Structure 1
């Protein structure tokens, strides 16, 4: 095998490795986003967003939903919060600092009021994607035909009321007739009653809650990218050393 052939093989192998790594990162991102979903632009590197998302989640969502795979102590450690901050501002159930996050509402009461117990949200972002959660939180509208008076264009006939209505406001949905007598097609939202926040500020609320749930679904994601950078640097240095070693071994081979 000549020097030129050996170098070409090493170059192709390195490019193949980079391609595999890029696909490993890119595929989950593409699979998590749907064609009609809005982009949350959430980032796990934004600690302020995660802290705000945690505050909003525990004030508006934890009354019904649990995070059984998360512990208050882990949230404090990962999000740069003290035990006192977590226990004073995020814990409304009397749980201990090392306990998992339960719902505030009794499960049997939830079944009686909503027809089913609200789901645990620990893995919701992995199951649906952060863009889905973001879009879902923005898509509630008044619907008198539903038992609780609310519906959702992202998850039609959801049993959940709009827990964020005081922030977002109350909106109605405008539908246009479907083609050839089919189901009506959603066209737009119209604001029926303004909330405490303007639309841009509410977008931040929805993004931060979605971002916090993205973190809760995979806390290791906070450090995975940092580790990935060091792995790529190691592979680059290792490849260079391997090439230099090969050059040394083959320098006298003609």
Structure 2
């Protein structure tokens, strides 16, 4: 099993999980990187889509033109066309001999799903390294619940999210929790990775639980930061999360 990320657009990643010969493609918003990789031997076996946003699924028509009959797995959302099989919470798939589990993770969009494939978490725009997605269609309670569900997976799970946002997220995370040594180390690592021209991903859930403020809403230092921003103590973890997400929406490093 070999994992790689194909860069697309300004900061997207199309994830590729290969066996010896064939591959799963996750969120191909642009067909061009996949078609280029095919010239070097990439042979897709299936497409997995996490949500309906075009930068995650607009490449599908061109890929089906190149590989007619290629299975496309997607959440049950009419805004995603060309799906050959709809998936939802609890769906289990057998793909290239690997077990894949589908988790409903609403918040960024109402129908967003994540796929867990042999220790790899393909989470689209729900969980980012040191951050999380914006709430376009869900509530803070939904998004926090989704993040907590992902955070409960085994700590060595590899987090394969949809965008290279780690450095931008690190600036906000350090504003929230400047005294976190694990966060400082993660930020330094990410700076070095980007300077070397390599992705900051995948990360692990252990790392995210230690560094990502959106997974740390019960931690006193994070709650205190939310309270300073809000002007009073947040009522609970949901309000703490809502304060952080709103703060991040307007944050400029």
TM-score (norm 2): 0.24
Kindly indicate which of the two structures has a greater share of residues assigned to helix.
1
**Which of the pair is proportionally richer in strand?**
2
Determine which structure has greater relative contact order: mean sequence separation of CA pairs < 8 Å that are 6+ residues apart, divided by chain length.
Answer: 1
For the pair shown, the structure with the greater C-alpha radius of gyration is 1
